[in-house]
Amino acid sequence: MRRITAAVTGATVALGLAACGAPSEQAGGGEDTLTVGATAVPAGEVLEFVRDELAADAGLDLKIQEFADYNAPNAALAEGELDANLFQHAPFLEDYNANSGTDLVPVTEVYLPPLGLYSFTVDSVEELPDGATVALPNDPTNEYRALLLLQEGGLITLAEGIEESSFSLADIEDNPKDLEFREIDAAQLPRSLEDVDAAIVNANYALDADLSANESAILLERYEGSPYINILAARQDNQDDPRVQKLAEILTSEEVARFIEEEYSGTVIPVASGQS
């Protein structure tokens, strides 16, 4: 059963930081516990599978802390409340570091949650009417990614030479259907489908809302060449921690790839499968 975890409040984070000891101890684990932050779906579910089925045999004591938004897990990792996190792609991490002055680093790629264009009113890109309203994620890395997806689908053309760090909607050079764009917080995009003609939704929020990429998306991001594969991230000072490295090894194993393939039926693509 899918579930949306309640957002971690500032008070909770503050209490965690006030506690003394290592991250695993702050989170209620022993000194050998690895505490990993994640959004509920799919990262949280993947980590639960690892914890319940694989961690003990690998000598790993895994504790999972779930978050409902995209910024809290990085803040918690940077402050030492977590040992690692799993929820984001490398461009998002780079943007977070640049804006926050942090030194978080990717440890390994794990899976691609393809960005998809969903609609409750049409069944194909061609059916989108002139002047249709399309909702986009409002964080820079995912909005840029959304525009690339729309360009790949032939709905817009972007100006040459634009960069993720400095783009804007004004960089749309051609918009033959005169689409109107509404920038919305990523977590609210599934709900926005009641009010817009289509919305580009991140896979974790699509899964939370029971939107199947294979059945419901009218346009879906490709795996090949994607820079948006989700990563296990840590800090520079603990990226070589044997526990972090052990988790990275497990997350890229055939067992985890098989779980992802069976659980998400193409809505999430494991690295081991995508590269084969």
Q: Which residues contact residue 246 at a Cβ distance below 8 angstroms, ignoring those fewer than 6 apart? A: 58, 59, 60
What percentage of the chain reaches a pLDDT higher than 90?
Answer: 74
Is residue 16 scored above 50 in pLDDT?
no
The predicted model scores a pTM of 0.75
CATH annotation of 10-113+226-274: 3.40.190.10
Look at residues 179, 153, 151, 155 and name the one whose alpha carbon lies nearest to residue 167. Answer: 151
The residues spanned by each domain of the chain are 10-113+226-274, 116-220
CA angle, 105 then 235 then 84, to 5°? 95
Distance CA 265, CA 261 (A): 5
- What pLDDT, in 10s, does the model give residues 183-232? 999 999 999 999 999 999 988 889 889 998 888 899 999 888 899 999 99
- Topology alike, domains 10-113+226-274 and 116-220: yes
Distance CA 18, CA 260 (A): 36
Q: How far is CA 59 from the centre of its chain?
A: 27
3-state secondary structure of 89: strand
Best CATH choice for the domain 116-220 from the list 3.30.450.40, 3.40.50.11060, 3.40.190.10, 3.40.50.300:
3.40.190.10
3-state secondary structure of 84: strand
Residue pair 120/193 in contact by the 8 Å Cβ criterion: yes
Residue pair 86/251 in contact by the 8 Å Cβ criterion: yes
Of all helices (H) and strands (E), which one includes residue 121?
A: none
For the chain, what is the total number of helices (H) and then of strands (E)?
12, 13
| pLDDT at residue 165, rounded to an integer | 79
Residue type, 68: A
Distance CA 44, CA 59 (A): 20
